[in-house]
Amino acid sequence: MIGVKGLFSVKDFFWEYIVKLDKREEKGVMIVTASEKIDGITSPELENFLTDLIQKTTSNIILDCSDLKYISSAGLRVVLVTAKKLRAQNRELFLSGLNGPAKDVFQLSGFYSILKIFDTTAQALEQE
């Protein structure tokens, strides 16, 4: 598992930022689990992680977001860029497990109409 963690403070204001990334292979598909927050600070870590995975594998990728609590526009950009990179290689990026505020962001941004998004990772694997 890879994680980025830091603490930013301004007087009495504290803001913690973290993203946890993990990967596993199941049924010949790479599954990336993204947990906690993807924002302007942590999105480069996700982008590097996914770019490296694209270069080292030939399978589709499922991004499991079931433990993702927050995603910003910077995180959405990484998801979109990753999907475009995979499509250029006749591969796909599937998203699964979106819930709460992260799901709302994907719905409001229109990503449900341009990406393949499933309720569970098991459903995404069935579509593979």
Whole-number pLDDT of residue 128: 64
Using DSSP, state whether 58 is helix, strand or coil: coil
Q: How many CA atoms lie within 13 A of 110 on its CB side?
A: 2
Q: 78 and 40 in contact (C-beta within 8 Å)? A: no
Interval 28-40: pLDDT, tens: 999 999 999 999 9
| pLDDT higher than threshold 60 for residue 27 | yes
Count other C-beta atoms under 10 Å from residue 13's C-beta: 7
- Round to whole Å and give the CA distance between 106 and 80: 11
Per the structure block, which two tokens stand in for 100?
A: 């709460």
For the whole model, what pTM was predicted?
0.86
Whole-number pLDDT of residue 127: 87
Domain 2-127 of CATH type 3.30.750.24? yes
| pLDDT higher than threshold 70 for residue 89 | yes
